[in-house]
Amino acid sequence: MITANDMTLTYSDGTDALKGISLKIQTGELVYITGPSGSGKTSLIKLLMGAEKPTAGELQVLNISLPPAREKDLLQLRQQIGPVFQELKLIDGRSVLDNVVLGMRFLEIPSQQWRSRASEALEKVRISHKMMSKAEHLSWGERQRVAIARAIARRPSLILADEPTGNLDHDNAVNILQLLDSLRNQHTSVIITTHATHLIDRQRTSQLIHISEGRIAPQ
Ligand SMILES: Nc1ncnc2c1ncn2[C@@H]1O[C@H](COP(=O)(O)OP(=O)(O)OP(=O)(O)O)[C@@H](O)[C@H]1O
């Protein structure tokens, strides 16, 4: 599903964010990426979704080589990814249902399916009782559940969650990690970055990748 070989990312200002990254992630895995602030976790996620290009080395995600040869490949990759990022905020003033539906725009999903897919995803994350609530009336934990529903309504092969437990108290953070874990199956892998290493259920984790100063550190 994902193969990286000696991959490097240097930003345009010369910052070496990632150096010599090699990894292999199979379908159905639950993978955590940990490391101190500034170590390169978000940069790695950005590479995996084609938002940044490797400066050197090889990267293949969902059978697509990155950087993509054609714009079409990038669209195809994005169609298969369910992103859960802090920056992808919910839209205040719109209902929970609308927020999930809006996550399906621009994808090749027939519009007649948007509502049913959104309801199904909200049920899966156990927040369908708030379907008609305005986004700004939700707690942080509820907002995060809606963000996850928005990602899974796309029926992704790969869920990429960047610090999904930020802003959450202990119990809510554990709930969110358990929820993300429950979403992996024989077609879907889940990759999560987090600072909260004490919350990781290591028994259920297939790989724990620790990044230190842009390199994968030996465990
Ligand atoms: N667009 C950018 N241009 C230049 N440097 C960047 C850019 N984005 C990130 N960096 C730098 O790359 C390095 C890795 O950053 P990254 O955001 O990947 O770390 P992180 O491990 O996700 O950190 P945090 O846990 O604080 O979110 C840092 O030195 C950061 O300052």
Q: What's the pLDDT score for residue 140?
A: 87
Which residue shows structure tokens 């990254």? Answer: 21
The SS3 of residue 203 is helix
Task: Give pTM, 2 decimals.
Answer: 0.94
Q: Whose CA is nearest to atom 14 of ligand 1?
A: 40
Q: What's the pLDDT score for residue 112?
A: 87
What is the per-residue DSSP string for 114-148?
A: HHHHHHHHHHHTT-GGGTTSBGGGS-HHHHHHHHH
40 lines ligand 1 (CB under 6 A): yes
ipTM associated with this complex: 0.98
H/E run at residue 191: strand 189-193
Q: Look at residues 191, 210, 211 and name the one whose alpha carbon lies nearest to residue 16.
A: 211
Q: What is the pLDDT along the chain (219 residues), one digit of tens a residue?
A: 999 999 999 999 999 999 999 999 999 999 999 999 999 999 999 999 999 999 999 999 999 999 988 989 998 999 899 999 877 789 999 999 999 999 888 788 888 889 999 999 999 899 999 999 999 999 988 999 999 999 999 999 999 999 999 878 898 899 899 999 999 998 999 999 999 899 999 999 999 999 999 999 987
Q: Whose CA is nearest to atom 30 of ligand 1?
A: 38
- The C-alpha angle with vertex 194 and arms to 212 and 93, in degrees rounded to 5, equals 135
Count H helices and E strands in the chain, helices first. 6, 10
Question: Are 58 and 4 within 8 A, CB to CB?
Answer: yes
> Tokens at residue 146, please?
């809606």
The SS3 of residue 36 is coil
Q: What's the pLDDT score for residue 57?
A: 97
Q: What's the pLDDT score for residue 166?
A: 86
Q: Whose CA is nearest to atom 10 of ligand 1?
A: 17
Provide the sign of the torsion angle of the four alpha carbons 163, 79, 132, 136, taken in this order.
positive
- Of ligand 1's listed atoms, the one at least distance from the Cα of 214 is 14
Question: Are 206 and 30 within 8 A, CB to CB?
Answer: yes
Mutate to test the pocket of ligand 1, among 7, 9, 11, 195 (most ligand atoms within 8 A of CB): 11
Q: What's the pLDDT score for residue 219?
A: 73
Q: Whose CA is nearest to atom 27 of ligand 1?
A: 37
- Of ligand 1's listed atoms, the one at least distance from the Cα of 45 is 18
